[in-house]
Amino acid sequence: MPGERAKQRLIVVSNRLPYVFKRGENGRWLTERGAGGLVSALLPVLRDRGGSWIGWPGTADGSSDLEAAVTAAGGEVGFALKAVTLDAREVHEFYHGFANEIIWPLFHDLQSLCNFEPAYWRTYKEVTRKFAEAVLAVSGGDDFIWVHDYHLMNVAAELRALGYRSRIGFFLHIPFPSPDIFFNLPWRSALLHALSQYDLVGFQTLRDRRNFIQCLRSVMEEVAIQGKGQVVSLTVNGRTVRVGNFPISIDYDAFVRQAGTDEVAQRAQELHRLLPRRNLILGVDRLDYTKGIPLRLLAFKAALERYPELRERISLIQVVVPSRVDIPQYHDLKMKIEQLVGEINGGFVRPGGWVPVWYEYGSLRRKDLLAYYRAADIALITPLKDGMNLVAKEYCACSIEEECVLILSEFAGAAAQLQNGALLVNPYDIEGVADMLHRAFTMSDEERRARMRRMRRSIRETDIFWWVDSFLRAAIAKDLSAFPQPADHATEAVPDYVPI
């Protein structure tokens, strides 16, 4: 990044801080670094350029010693952390309410699950105003502000209303729906207006970006587009907004390195000893209705019914990581999954013998997760809709011998990039997924390797560091033609996957 701009300070704004704060038994705050790739990718950038990370510490406990704990964690990490504290009502109406009972289901095409409670929108605006005020409190005015995800879409609008003029970027980690779905939102115009207050809006895939532009064009009077590469420039009611697709990724080298350790290899071998003479099929998901877990279980059952030769030759390890447990729909989903697991195991299991589904409810330690990735012969990743799905990329990175098969939903953002190697399925097509499981099971070693090699190359070339760098370059570049154009764009060389 040439010139002065390269050292512009960075202020990251996300719903959660990159640290988790919990009170220990002695009443003092315990601090633990978030484990995600985003945190690992942004820490070096923040240390190098200087800046701050603003977010909610994840607790409605507003005691004054929390702020001190947050500041102390910032001192250790090498840049400032700033907490936006929320009271219990705000957590309920902003986080559980607007973010997770409206935007999350709507943007995943599940509008029938939305609770369009008017109070949620009011609180959403109040809370995003708090985040904007926190930005103003730490920004010198010439910083680059990078806002993340659906919880905070309105922050730029609040910042502009407070008179902030410097550049602000936004990245949406979840899908952006088509106009037919988006227009159910009672506050659709206000939200589109809010998004057009950013200078750069980033999406996971070309499809999300197209949906956004179509929505803007339906609502705003004048929307002109310049360019046709990875990043385009829109003029929206006289304002210039850049819009691009930046498929998020993982720290590929770190996954390869860690998956290759003796400890992980031994744990993976132990799993095969426990579950001998069979292919292991893996599903790892947060407990969420978008991840398609019940339909996946039905597809697994259908595979055992349609292909008796698979019985005793495959086992599904399904890990479900607790998430948003305070929302009733999530509790119901857990019951449903556990009922289905019971039915499948009850229907096929023989005393002392094969157990078709190994179900684990809980969070795995990273080393165990890596061992599961390494041990699994087939990953069955079938979300009904997903922004990207990093589990798919992590699984490929950990497939060091390149002998594994990825079965992936065509509705995961990752399908656009991995269609050259994954077996793509429609997660609603129970028998189609069952057939694909059989195909994966019977696939030749040669085909497995060729497919996995293609996917791993693509993930290695566009890792999380590539992602951070391309987003920041798109924010400051003078000339967008330097960005991949349709013919040479690594991740768009294959077009978005379009189901027939």
Provide the binding-site residues for ligand GDG, judged by CB under 6 A.
Answer: 35-36, 173-174, 248, 284, 286, 319, 321, 363-364, 366, 369, 386-391, 394
Q: Give least dist CB 372 to ligand GDG, A.
A: 9
Q: Give least dist CB 13 to ligand GDG, A.
A: 15
Q: How far apart are CA 178 and CA 217, in angstroms?
A: 12
The tokens describing 314, both together, are: 């495959």
Which helix or strand (DSSP H or E) is residue 439 part of?
helix 430-442
Beta-carbon contacts of residue 164 (< 8 Å; ≥ 6 apart): 132, 135, 136, 139, 141
Q: How far apart are CA 293 and CA 334, in angstroms?
A: 10
Beta-bridged to residue 19, according to DSSP, are 33
Residue type, 149: D
* Strand bridging mode 239-245 / 200-203: parallel
Residue type, 257: R
Beta-carbon contacts of residue 42 (< 8 Å; ≥ 6 apart): 10, 12, 18, 53, 468
Instruction: Count CB atoms within 10 A of the CB of residue 353.
Output: 8
Q: What single string gives the DSSP state of each residue in 317-383? A: EEEEE---TTSHHHHHHHHHHHHHHHHHHHHH--TTS--SEEEEESPPPHHHHHHHHHH-SEEEE--
Beta-carbon contacts of residue 195 (< 8 Å; ≥ 6 apart): 153, 156, 170, 201, 212
Beta-carbon contacts of residue 338 (< 8 Å; ≥ 6 apart): 359, 361
CA distances from 175 to 107, 182, 464 (A): 6, 11, 18
Identify the DSSP state of 166.
Answer: S
Q: How far apart are CA 31 and CA 53, in angstroms?
A: 15
Q: Give least dist CB 398 to ligand GDG, A.
A: 10
Residue keyed to tokens 């770190």: 254
Q: Give least dist CB 164 to ligand GDG, A.
A: 26
Identify the DSSP state of 183.
Answer: T
If the CB atoms of residues 8 and 419 are measured against ligand GDG, the closer one turns out to be 419
Residue keyed to tokens 């910032």: 74
Active site residues per annotation: 173, 386
Q: Give least dist CB 108 to ligand GDG, A.
A: 8
Residue type, 160: R
